[in-house]
Structure 1
Amino acid sequence: MSFTITALFVALTSLAWLLRVTVIPESFPMAGSLEQLCYFLTALSGARVLDTLIFPLLFRRQGPESMTSDLLQATISILLYGTAVVVWLALGLGFDVSKLLATSAIFSVIIGFALQATLGNLFSGLSLEIERPVRVGDYVRKGDVEGRVEALKWRSVFIRTPNDSRIVLPNSALTSQPIEIFPYDRPTRHTALFQIDPRVEPGRILTIARDILNSGFPNICADPAPSVVLIGTEAGSPNLWYGARYYTLNFLDRSATNSRLLARLWYALARQGIDMKADRLTLAPDDAPTGSRPFPDVLPECVSLWPVLAKAGRRQLFGADEVIPADCVGFVLRGVLREERTLDPQDLAKEVAALLAQDDASNAKTDVSSEEMAAITATAIGFVGPVAGGLVQRFASLTDDPYLIYHAVAASIESPEHRRHFLAFAPATPSRLLGEGASFGWAEWLDGPATISHARRVWGSAELLLIPREALPSVAAQADLLAAVIAEDIPGADAEAVAHRLRRRMAVSEPG
């Protein structure tokens, strides 16, 4: 559009000069006025051409994210058109521009004193435009103020803080005082600090923390690689300070990332019998004597079974999103696990059809998290419109599996192509929730090493009784009672058949 308007100005200027030179004679009464118009159009067209062509060549953008503001372009445009007016006054009207410039200088001094602060911010904005130390999207920190740059204006910079408030900083504050800038497209390093009893071997702590950082932790960049360092001691504290250093692209999310990282580290250390920020080395809950911590009130009919299982295994704590070791079987004592499950296309179609056939239970309590429901709804709105929220709420009240919710909502999408596009956002596999008292891993162990292992993640936090598979022969005497407990969590199995498989499998696994 800008090039089209410029071309129209040039064409109109050429037409005016063509009329003046070839058609309108000198004796024509309006010849003088037409000549003045020609000079005016020439000056205006020249400024327009320079504004349209030269500026983009000198200040070419690197992409939408690197744009700052239109301050520099507007300033250059004013100078170009102001110069065009002066040229027209001098050549077209024969005006003595020296008097005008002298008068303008006097007014400029007066205005400069009156608007000193405003002009200071204006020229600071121009220097920011030319040097470009900060861009829209960058994160900045100045004293107690930090946030993401949303806009660069004539007089000020608009910053969005972590509290979702908006702060306006004058441009002069960015050019006259130190400010820390974190480019939006480059990872920034952060450190999560924690204390450990000095009697714990530092190599253990470094290894545990390093394994967590390298486990694909959310929002932590793999490159540059994270690291863990022993910082030393602090006056007045007997503990050793450690720092988990990592890089992230979201500067404002570092507090949430630190929180999740320290929580994950606490659970990992607790499973090793190590306390964070302890004045002395104490036993973690997992190492306390079995008799001193009674089992939660799950499966009360099998009270006599717990001491045998506890002797073969170990009670351990896990944090949110931690993956349960695949070489163990066990029980959920507290909390919830989400376990992947295998579902062939025929069974999937049956379960989706069952969901679609059930009555609306949108007022019922759902086990799907509000974050998962919001994510599914936001995706579904683009495919099914405003009814997406109602559909998601309905299916979430009938199943705890986001995979099934996606497929049930997809049944309302008529276009096969759009349906495939929508399902691309669904989880890769179906899953189920395992609550208190549920068993896990037994079906895979009973079916032998060729069985596909199902991943299990903690939902929130959980306390589990984990039993290594090599320790299972030690509970062979309780096979019948154990079978009655785990048969409920093995689809299509009865207790007697499970007990037979347990005894046979334990005999195979027993050493010697």
Structure 2
Amino acid sequence: MSTLVFIALAALVWLLDFTVAPDDGLAKTLLPALATGLSALALARLLERALLRLLAARARLGSHSDRLHTMLAMVIYAATALGWLHYALGLNVTSLLATSAVVTLILGLALQATLGNLFTGLSLELERQLRVGDYIFKGPIEGEVVALKWRSVFLRTSNNTRIVLPNNGLTTDAVEIVPGGQPSRHTVFFAVRSHVPPMDVLAVTEDVLRSGVPKIHLAFPPSAVLLGPDPERGFLRYGARYYTLECLERSNIASNLQVRLWYALSRKGIAMAGWGVPPRDDGHLVAPLPRLAQDLVARLLPFGERRSYGPGEEIALGGGAALLLRGSAREEREARLDAERAQLARLMDDGPDEHGTVRMAAAPLAVIGERAARHLGPYAYALAHGYATRTDDPRLLHLALASHIQDEPDREVFLAEAPRHTSRRLEPGAGIGFARLLAPSTPGNGRIVSNRRCEILHLSAAALGEAIDRAVITPADLAAHDADLAAHDVDLARRPIDPGIAPPDGMPANAPASQGDAPTRVDIH
């Protein structure tokens, strides 16, 4: 736009010069000089834009990189100014530059650091080693490049703050650059007592690495390696190597990975160095259990094996069965249309509860509320909070919230993010897999995943058969246990299960069902 303004002004001044300007006088001198200056500026602007487009196409520069822009602008406008002074005003540019040498020296010394950053930035731009979206690691400084300026680089840290790194800082010391959008490898180190067979540790570690730890990029296979002994402490050092696209999340990934490693190794009776496996009192259960569940667990303890699972770990029964001792888990089930429609109708009839206790974990509830807020606004958080007092099924909650989205395309976008399977929360005392073992025609359990943590009493098919053969338990005991647990779940909504999530500041904890538009019927396919 500014280029067109300069062209228009130059044309106007040239027109004035040729039409209304007198043949002599000050106007005859100033108008041609002004017209020449405006024409030179318009030409400089056109040349600047053309060169920037050419260089951007060849170097694939990001829109935030202004280093070449700054340098080109300085050169082009400096040449334009010198040409205008020489040809329009008739000044001797050579003598002008010679007389300004002292001034130039003073300015150069005063701006030494700035000019150093400027030329360092130019060299980095020409080498094309750094781009917006890359990650920089330089000692304690690490972050994602969000802008490349002519004096400095702007980084976004894992704390969502910004660091301004002068360009000179990228050439004085070694800098690690991870290209954006490309997986980079990282290693989590741990140690195990040297008497544990290394292949046992490596096998468990590789299983954990491939178990779907959040933000580990499995397109590049992770690996477990033995790094060597630590003779002074009697340990063997190991490394769990993985790839990720999110370098700034390394600490969170390492935390999740170490937690899963601890639980996985503890299930094999292997202690990580410095952590240890805490002793268990098999006669003491942390979580209160329903009456019949306590009796059932006490009778089955000698036949089973206690196993602990960390957040997000899949609980594999291996053809056996289990009783949940503490913590909680979630079992995915294939959605049955008739049952799902009935559950949704009942949930919509009840509406959001203003005074109930939230039955869903905070993290998934926050995600679902954020998704709904894109279509419903801030009211969605209170609405999700209210429905979460009625159900702990993420899919059912999605369907209930979708009924409040009036625009059909928006509703379809929201439902596209809903889980494909219904799920139920398993509380302490829940039995898993018993029906399938006692009646093979019974549909098996779906995928079972630990929430934050859980502990189960696992029984193999042979162990359960032995317990039945020895009359320790009977199928009738298991049926009575299921009935007792169902009665126990009736009162589930009246007691705390998981910490709830508070709506944003200024948003009521719960909202009446009458607020907002009337719910729309959601078709379940």
Q: 1:357 to 1:313 in 2, by over 3 A?
A: same
Q: Which sections of structure 1, spanning at least 5 residues, go unmatched?
A: 492-512
3-state secondary structure, aligned to 1:334: strand
Cross-structure match for 1:306 = 297
> Greater relative contact order (Cα 8 A, min sep 6): structure 1 or 2?
2
Distance (whole Å) between structure 1 residues aligned to residue 54 and residue 47 of structure 2: 10
Distance (whole Å) between structure 1 residues aligned to residue 245 and residue 402 of structure 2: 33
Instruction: Find the partner of 1:95 among 91, 113, 127.
Output: 91
Cross-structure match for 1:387 = 379
Deviations 1:305-335 (A, max 9, x none): 4354234332111111111114222211111
What amino acid is the match of 1:103? T
Structure-to-structure mapping, 1:258-297, within 5 angstroms = 258-277=254-273, 293-295=283-285, 297=288
Cross-structure match for 1:119 = 115
**Does the CA contact (< 8 Å) of 1:270 and 1:284 recur in 2?**
no
**Does the CA contact (< 8 Å) of 1:68 and 1:135 recur in 2?**
no
Deviations 1:60-109 (A, max 9, x none): 37778x44531320231132122112212211222222232223332111
Cross-structure match for 1:226 = 222
Cross-structure match for 2:155 = 159
Shift of 1:402: 1.6
Instruction: Find the partner of 2:51 among 54, 64, 80.
Output: 54
Instruction: Find the partner of 2:428 among 421, 430, 436.
Output: 436
Cross-structure match for 1:185 = 181
Q: 1:104 to 1:450 in 2, by over 3 A?
A: farther
Distance (whole Å) between structure 1 residues aligned to residue 313 and residue 429 of structure 2: 19
Deviations 1:19-45 (A, max 9, x none): 878x68995875554433442233222
Shift of 1:114: 1.9
Q: Normalising to structure 1: TM-score of the pair?
A: 0.85
Shift of 1:247: 1.1
Cross-structure match for 1:35 = 32
Single out whichever of 334-343 and 402-411 deviates more from structure 2: 334-343
Cross-structure match for 1:454 = 446
Shift of 1:218: 1.6
Identity of matched residues, %: 39
Structure-to-structure mapping, 1:347-362, within 5 angstroms = 347-358=339-350, 360-362=352-354
**Does the CA contact (< 8 Å) of 1:335 and 1:463 recur in 2?**
yes
Structure-to-structure mapping, 1:419-430, within 5 angstroms = 419-430=411-422
Structure-to-structure mapping, 1:468-487, within 5 angstroms = 468-476=460-468, 477=471, 478-479=473-474, 480-487=476-483
3-state secondary structure, aligned to 2:75: helix
**Does the CA contact (< 8 Å) of 1:206 and 1:229 recur in 2?**
yes
What amino acid is the match of 1:93? L
Q: 1:420 to 1:292 in 2, by over 3 A?
A: closer
Shift of 1:435: 0.9
Deviations 1:200-233 (A, max 9, x none): 1111111111111122322111232111111111
Distance (whole Å) between structure 2 residues aligned to residue 318 and residue 330 of structure 1: 13
Q: Normalising to structure 2: TM-score of the pair?
A: 0.83
Cross-structure match for 2:410 = 418
Shift of 1:424: 1.1
Distance (whole Å) between structure 1 residues aligned to residue 374 and residue 277 of structure 2: 53
Shift of 1:128: 2.8
Instruction: Find the partner of 1:402 among 375, 389, 394.
Output: 394
Q: 1:36 to 1:163 in 2, by over 3 A?
A: closer
State whether structure 2 residue 327 is matched by structure 1 residue 340. Answer: no
Distance (whole Å) between structure 2 residues aligned to residue 189 and residue 148 of structure 1: 16
3-state secondary structure, aligned to 1:60: helix
Cross-structure match for 1:211 = 207
Q: 1:306 to 1:176 in 2, by over 3 A?
A: closer
Cross-structure match for 2:102 = 106
Deviations 1:401-434 (A, max 9, x none): 1211111111101122211110111122111111
**Does the CA contact (< 8 Å) of 1:239 and 1:278 recur in 2?**
no
Q: 1:82 to 1:160 in 2, by over 3 A?
A: same
Cross-structure match for 1:74 = 70
What amino acid is the match of 1:229? V
Distance (whole Å) between structure 2 residues aligned to residue 207 and residue 267 of structure 1: 14
Single out whichever of 421-430 and 129-138 deviates more from structure 2: 129-138
What amino acid is the match of 2:433? G
Deviations 1:139-162 (A, max 9, x none): 222222222233333333333333
